[in-house]
Amino acid sequence: MPNAGDLSGRFIVVGVSGGIAAYKAVEVCRLLVDAGAHVAPIMTPDAERFIGKTTLSALCSEPVHTSLWDDASPIPHTRLGQRADLIVVAPATARVIAAYAAGMSDDLLTATLIATVAPVVVCPAMHTEMWEHPAVRHNVATLRSRGVHIVEPEDGRLAGGDMGRGRLAAPETILAEARRVLAPTQSKLAARHVVVSAGGTREPIDAVRVITNRSSGKQGHAIANEAARRGAKVTLVTTADFLPVPGVSVVRVETAAEMKSAIDTAAASADVVIMTAAVADFRPVPIAEGKWKKHDGVPSVVLEPTPDILAGLGAAKRPGQVLVGFAAETSNLVDNAKSKLAHKNLDIVVANDVSQPKVGFGHDTNAVTIVTKLGTSAIPLADKRTVAAHVLDSVEASLHPTQEHP
């Protein structure tokens, strides 16, 4: 039973889409109302095939909304989107997830999702084969990269008696996520300047070809988004194209030299610098003019080292500034991380073994070991938003008392 009043005064929109799990939205709404929230329900036309409007209208704080065309409110999606402190979509079908990811507003629910700047919690529910389809996984990853909170489906009995992953998370789990997202920030990062780098740099060989690596930038963007949620002033220096959450200042770069210039400028005023980016260690020299042609034969590519951005930051680190490095390894994970921590004057090293399944480059998940001067802590395989939260917890623990707000 939730503690009454812990969501008091919060305006929460609950979107219900057309899946068999729609019946569980009744309990989600009841729990939110019991916790003190004002709950405004939206049902898609397909949702009405599974539960009746009267049920939700009776349990929620106002009648169910179903149409973009409402005589009482000519622009209901704008009204609901602007008033919302939080939007919860439970269940979220593959169609709604795809429409939200693509920015399509073909019903009241998707229009409201696009017309809000409030945090959004999406709770998928579908058959296992649908949940594991590459298109669905891609759409979920897209939403995550934009700061949408995903409550993963659970394993259990599905429609038709099948067993597998895809069952809507328990209503109590969804309530707990709503509480977490809306919890007042007490972060030590509030109003602090946090600089984050993300993505893999690209070093040109000629006018067409580049040397790069497999880094997608997902982990760096997840860290930047989480820092912004904790109230930090965030500068994100990135090579990736993901859209960050509102409030993150983005500097787009491509090469190691461009990243160094942007990082050095931002770091001068930063309280925390988190170097998540996979910066190239070498670059071609010279860069060929135009494009090399096959008929000219196999070219000779000469490499020179790029500047070590992290070592430079460590040498210039101000008293009290927290500096975090990342180490993508394939062996001797902790030993290499400890060596990097000492030699580059870092406060924290986040190390991962990118040879392991679903870890690191290109994945939506990661498993890391966080190394500090006081010890190590292992974070098992989890989504990158969860890993970001652990990294920033370590950053907050490393902040000097003089850096905290009075």
Q: List residues with catalytic annotation.
A: 213
How many residues in total does the chain contain?
406
Residue 387 CA: distances (Å) to CA of 228, 335, 360: 15, 21, 11
Alpha carbon 35 to its chain centroid, in Å, reads 27
Query: Mutual orientation of helices 134-145 and 94-102 as an angle, nearest 10°?
Result: 50
Cα 64 to Cα 62: distance, rounded to the nearest angstrom? 7
